[in-house]
Amino acid sequence: MSGNADVSFRGAYPNGGTDAYPTRLSAGEPQLLDRLDPVVQGSAADGPFDDGEELAAHEDKGYTILEGLITPAEVQGYWQELGRLLSDSSLKTDERVVTEKSSGEVRSIFDVHRVSELVGRLARDPRILDRAQQLLGSEVYLHQSRVNYMPGFRGNGFYWHSDFETWHAEDGVPRPRAVSCSIALTDNYPYNGGLMVMPGSHRTFVQCLGETPDDHYRASLKEQEIGVPREDDITKLAASCGIDQFTGPAGSALFFEDRVALVLVGSSVLRLLSDK
């Protein structure tokens, strides 16, 4: 088994206005809409990304990979914490715990910065927080935290999606003004289910079909069917943007736009050789 810890930060929003990113259409043809909001809103003088080229690359691709953000000793500590959470009987019936649709094994734990004091400290660590504030150009608040467990053989992948589309349609988040950080707690290889991203797709908002059912999150966290792009749109963006993968040693971090916000993300469903 392996896992990764994710935190998503948000900055302040402008007030009011017409919905610039309509989605979950009940009829009609979904469109690929241009992003209207800036990406990097801070400067090189505002934080740890001290090279203007780093910020320019993030602006261009929508994500940045940093190897060794946390140390091997810290990785071991967080890995042990993931094991402790798995064995915590008090979490078995907690609605923040999401299980795999088929096997019933733990898939994710949400709100984990409140469930685990150790993860809570990580979410406030300057190595993460200062970079989030620099990219957003303001103070931030924590929108979401989660741990993803991806067991070998039995773990399901995460289909291509945009977190902003979901947060916009289901949570009322008005604009793509967020940054997420995913920290790998095991080595990421091309063959063991690492996160895939389409660089530059953060500049396009992909409208989705289908009205949102009540309490949709309960089913979608196991397997999302509403709020996913059409295969034709995924194919178009893959052809124009290409596909990169988050690989590297444990302790590496991926900073990305709204879960690569408008950037489409997905993970492989093929995990036959090892845990990811």
Does residue 275 lie within any of the structural domains?
Answer: no
- Structure confidence at residue 63 as a pLDDT band (50, 70, 90): very high
End-to-end CA distance of the chain: 6
- Tell me what the mean pLDDT of segment 196-202 comes to: 90
Write down the pLDDT at residue 18.
86
Tell me the whole-structure pTM to 2 decimals: 0.85
> Has residue 97 got a pLDDT over 60?
yes
Q: Which of 118-122, 140-144, 218-222, 230-234 has the lowest mean pLDDT?
A: 218-222
Contact 203, 157 (CB under 8 A): no
- Tell me what the mean pLDDT of segment 102-121 comes to: 89
pLDDT per position as a tens digit, 211-240: 877 766 565 555 566 778 888 998 899 899
Q: Count structural domains, the chain.
A: 1
Does residue 274 lie within any of the structural domains?
Answer: no
CA distance 69 to 251: 6
Does residue 23 lie within any of the structural domains?
Answer: yes
Write down the pLDDT at residue 62.
93
Does residue 225 lie within any of the structural domains?
Answer: yes
Domain assignment of residue 114, given as a range: 3-267
Does residue 273 lie within any of the structural domains?
Answer: no
Does residue 276 lie within any of the structural domains?
Answer: no
Tokens of 151: 């067991």
At CB < 8 A and 24+ separation, what contacts does 226-231 make?
226/24, 227/23, 227/24, 227/161, 227/165, 227/166, 227/169, 227/170, 228/159, 228/160, 228/161, 229/30, 229/160, 229/161, 229/162, 229/264, 230/30
CATH assignment of the domain containing 171: 2.60.120.620
- The angle subtended at Cα 123 by Cα 121 and Cα 124, nearest 5°, is 65
Does residue 258 lie within any of the structural domains?
Answer: yes
- Tell me what the mean pLDDT of segment 112-126 comes to: 94
Write down the pLDDT at residue 13.
54
- Structure confidence at residue 2 as a pLDDT band (50, 70, 90): low
Percent of the chain exceeding pLDDT 90 equals 48
